[in-house]
Amino acid sequence: MAGVVVVFDFDRTIIDGDSDNWVVTQMGLSDLFNQLRRTLPWNSLMDRMMKELHLQGKTAENIAECLRHAVLDPQIALAIKSAHAIGCDLRIISDANQFFIEKILEQHGLLSCFSKIYTNPTHVDQEGMLRIFPYHDSTTSPHACPRCPPNMCKGQVLDLINASYPDGERQRFIYLGDGGGDYCPTLKLQSCDYVMPRKNYPLWNRIHSDPVLIKAEVHEWSTGEELERNLLNIINTICIKETSNGSNPSQPNSSDCNLIL
The response to whether 73 counts as a known ligand-binding position is no
Active site residue 16: no
Q: Which of 11, 47, 89, 193 is catalytic?
A: 11
Q: How distant is the alpha carbon of residue 248 from its chain centre?
A: 27
Q: Which of 9, 18, 47, 89 is catalytic?
A: 9
Give the dihedral sign, CA 213/215/216/218: positive
Start-end of H helices in the chain: 19-26, 30-36, 42-55, 60-67, 74-86, 98-107, 154-163, 183-188, 202-209, 224-245
User: Is residue 38 classed as helix, strand or coil in its secondary structure?
Assistant: coil
The response to whether 182 counts as a known ligand-binding position is no
Active site residue 256: no
DSSP for 108-140, written as a single string: TT-GGGEEEEEEE-EEE-TTS-EEE--SS-TTT
The response to whether 9 counts as a known ligand-binding position is yes
The response to whether 95 counts as a known ligand-binding position is yes
In whole angstroms, give the CA distance from residue 166 to residue 125.
Answer: 37
The response to whether 20 counts as a known ligand-binding position is yes
Residue whose C-alpha is closest to residue 115's, from 168, 179, 188, 164: 164
In whole angstroms, give the CA distance from residue 71 to residue 205.
Answer: 25
Q: Which residues are catalytic?
A: 9, 11
The binding site consists of 9, 11, 20, 95, 178
The binding site for substrate consists of 20, 95
The binding site for Mg(2+) consists of 9, 11, 178
